């Protein structure tokens, strides 16, 4: 996509809508354009607070993450190292389907545990990208309303890595369509 940037699709699952009141429970990431280059970890909760609806979506009880999750600092160190290992000299760009949600957790965890965020200060939001491409309404950016031609064969399952991969395919197709349109307009 770029000689100077690497787009990394990131998805998280959480116990509620915002950090640090709620915990990031899992994080999945992959390289846009090469989804087999991926990262996945489950985290120990940073507190006991959760919303039942959020846990229903995640599909695993909080006890699972308390028992099986890794310490958040260790996960963020591993994620940072993975980003460095795949970025080489390119700037890593956080791409999220609902970037405001996922970004809030990833940014908070990076700054809390590593005092830095390798993605810098701004993510790119696939929903906004789609809205700009199509001129549609915000309600049309729900994944269930985005036409299949913008989706890859993978489906979103509410597993952070599955969703990161499916969202990477969607991001790639939206960017490709935008480039085709730009070429026609030049």
Residues forming beta bridges with residue 12, ordered by sequence position: 27
Cβ count near 43 (within 10 Å): 25
Backbone angles phi, psi at 55, to 5 degrees: -70, -35
Q: Are 72 and 108 in contact (CB under 8 A)?
A: no
β-bridge pairing 91-96 and 5-14: parallel
User: Where in the sequence numbering do the catalytic residues fall?
Assistant: 158
**Which residues, other chains included, contact 34 with Cβ-Cβ below 8 Å and sequence gap of 6+?**
none
The encoded tokens of residue 179 equal 């480039």
């Amino acid at each position: 996509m770029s000689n100077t940037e690497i787009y990394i699709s990131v998805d998280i699952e959480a116990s509620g809508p915002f950090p640090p009141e709620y915990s990031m429970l899992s994080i999945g990431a992959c390289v846009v354009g090469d989804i087999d280059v991926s990262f996945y970890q489950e985290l120990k909760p940073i507190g006991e607070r959760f919303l039942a609806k959020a846990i229903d979506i995640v599909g695993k009880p909080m006890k699972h993450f308390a028992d099986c999750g890794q310490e958040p600092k260790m996960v963020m160190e591993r994620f940072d190292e993975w980003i460095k290992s795949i970025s080489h000299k390119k700037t890593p760009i956080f791409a999220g389907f609902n970037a405001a949600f996922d970004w809030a957790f990833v940014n908070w965890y990076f700054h809390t545990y590593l005092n830095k965020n390798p993605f810098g200060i701004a993510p790119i939001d696939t929903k906004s990208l789609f809205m700009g491409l199509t001129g549609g309404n915000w309600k049309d950016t729900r994944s269930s309303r985005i036409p299949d031609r913008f989706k890859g064969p993978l489906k979103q399952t509410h597993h952070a890595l599955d969703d990161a991969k499916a969202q990477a395919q969607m991001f790639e197709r939206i960017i490709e369509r935008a480039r085709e349109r730009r070429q026609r307009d030049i």
